[in-house]
């Protein structure tokens, strides 16, 4: 269960020698070690999650490398798993209880691998103790379904004339998730409330992963099939076949850090930097593209763009021609 460990407003990222993104942040007002922040906790900042890889006093190293550089005083929070002092279970004995019944396919489990034992208690004492908790997530996956589910518009209690309906985006969400080191990544259903009855889906959209298997893995992109994924794969192939040029390298890095490119040539119809607090919206030839406000864009309404042109700033590649003194700061 995710729970906030700490929140702050003095987050800072440094200048990574011209890079647009970094994987480190600091807060000189906090010692993350003494606050109990550990590897695997989640840093939430700039509207997304970052997994903490290492902790060193006031310094955090995270993944992915997507924190915007040279930002002072940003808000953040760190969430992690709730620590439970003691858990005592005797599953074999409980299973012998004749009152135990199972009326549906499935298993409900409490994963205790991340819990630490603070003190051992004797069996008589353990039987007198109670454990209370609140469930805030209820996930389900079908081990017989190995194909990835992209969309599950509706679930219902019976095949015909249902009187109980659940809708995707309101009552549940479908996620692509790695369950454990021994179970392959697959789709899981995250319910708003536990469901204790069989449910049927009339329509299911599966990801057959043709794009990933035939093209994506060759450029080391393993993601769920979406229009954005297709655009990134196309762009990386285009950059590769342009040869070892500065512009091709810049385009490839631009795509790998998740910045937008033009999916088709056309005219810039609108540029809206007020789309949200962190993202702007560019419309080219009827297509909408989001870009981070922290990197910005040089495009204006009426500009012409070609296929695969970057639509935002954020990546700069230097060499001895465009920056003859590039090495001076490293001396």
Domain containing 268 equals: 243-305
**Contact status, residue 292 vs residue 312, Cβ threshold 8 Å:** yes
Q: What are the distances in angstroms from CA 63 to CA 50, 69, 89, 221, 226?
A: 6, 14, 35, 16, 22
270 shares a domain with 201: no
67 shares a domain with 18: yes
DSSP state of 294: T
142 shares a domain with 72: no
7 shares a domain with 71: yes
260 shares a domain with 198: no
Domain stops at, among 182, 207, 232: 207
Residues 223-244 have pLDDT tens digits of 877 888 899 999 999 999 999 8
The least confident of 193-197, 202-206, 307-311 is: 193-197
Domain stops at, among 181, 207, 233: 207
Domain stops at, among 37, 63, 81: 81
- pTM of the entire structure? 0.47
Closest CA to 322 of 249, 225, 271: 249
Average pLDDT rounded to a whole number, residues 92-105: 47
* Residue 22 included in any domain: yes
* Residue 257 included in any domain: yes
Q: What does the angle CA 19 – CA 240 – CA 307 come to, to the nearest 5 degrees?
A: 85
Query: If you search the block for the tokens 């049927």, which residue do you land on?
Result: 200
- 14 versus 57: the higher-pLDDT residue is 57
* Residue 58 included in any domain: yes
* Residue 186 included in any domain: yes
* Residue 296 included in any domain: yes
The least confident of 47-56, 72-81, 171-180, 284-293 is: 171-180
Number of domains in the chain: 3
* Residue 89 included in any domain: no
* Residue 12 included in any domain: yes
262 shares a domain with 197: no
* Residue 286 included in any domain: yes
72 shares a domain with 19: yes
> CA 311 to CA 271: how far, in whole Å?
11
Residues 155-181 have pLDDT tens digits of 999 999 999 999 998 888 887 765 554
Query: If you search the block for the tokens 């990544």, which residue do you land on?
Result: 185
Average pLDDT rounded to a whole number, residues 244-266: 91
């Amino acid at each position: 269960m995710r729970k906030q460990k700490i929140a702050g407003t003095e987050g800072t990222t440094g200048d990574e020698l011209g890079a647009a993104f970094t994987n480190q942040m600091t807060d000189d007002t906090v010692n993350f070690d003494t606050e109990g922040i550990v590897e695997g906790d989640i840093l939430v900042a700039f509207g997304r999650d970052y997994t903490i890889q290492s902790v060193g006093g006031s310094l955090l190293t995270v993944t992915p490398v997507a924190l915007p550089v040279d930002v002072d005083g940003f808000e953040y929070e760190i969430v992690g798993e709730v620590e439970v002092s003691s858990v005592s279970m005797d599953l074999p004995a409980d299973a012998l209880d004749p009152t135990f019944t199972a009326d549906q396919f499935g298993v409900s489990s409490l994963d205790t691998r991340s819990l630490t034992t603070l003190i051992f208690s004797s069996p008589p004492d353990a039987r007198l103790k109670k454990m209370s908790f609140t469930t805030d997530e209820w996930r389900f996956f079908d081990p017989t379904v190995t194909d990835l589910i992209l969309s599950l518009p509706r679930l219902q209690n019976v095949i015909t004339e249902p009187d109980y309906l659940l809708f995707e985006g309101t009552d549940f969400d479908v996620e692509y998730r790695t369950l454990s080191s021994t179970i392959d990544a697959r789709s899981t259903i995250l319910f708003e409330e536990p469901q204790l009855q069989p449910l049927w889906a009339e329509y299911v959209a599966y990801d057959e992963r043709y794009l990933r298997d035939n093209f994506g893995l060759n450029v080391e992109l393993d993601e769920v099939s979406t229009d954005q994924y297709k655009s990134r794969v196309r762009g990386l192939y285009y950059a590769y076949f342009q040869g070892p040029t500065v512009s091709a390298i810049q385009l490839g890095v631009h795509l790998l850090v998740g910045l937008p490119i033009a999916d088709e040539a056309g005219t810039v119809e609108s540029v809206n930097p007020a789309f949200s607090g962190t993202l702007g919206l560019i419309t080219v030839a009827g297509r909408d593209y989001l870009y981070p406000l922290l990197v910005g864009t040089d495009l204006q309404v009426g500009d012409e763009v070609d296929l695969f042109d970057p639509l935002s700033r954020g990546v700069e590649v230097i060499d001895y021609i465009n920056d003859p003194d590039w090495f001076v700061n490293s001396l």
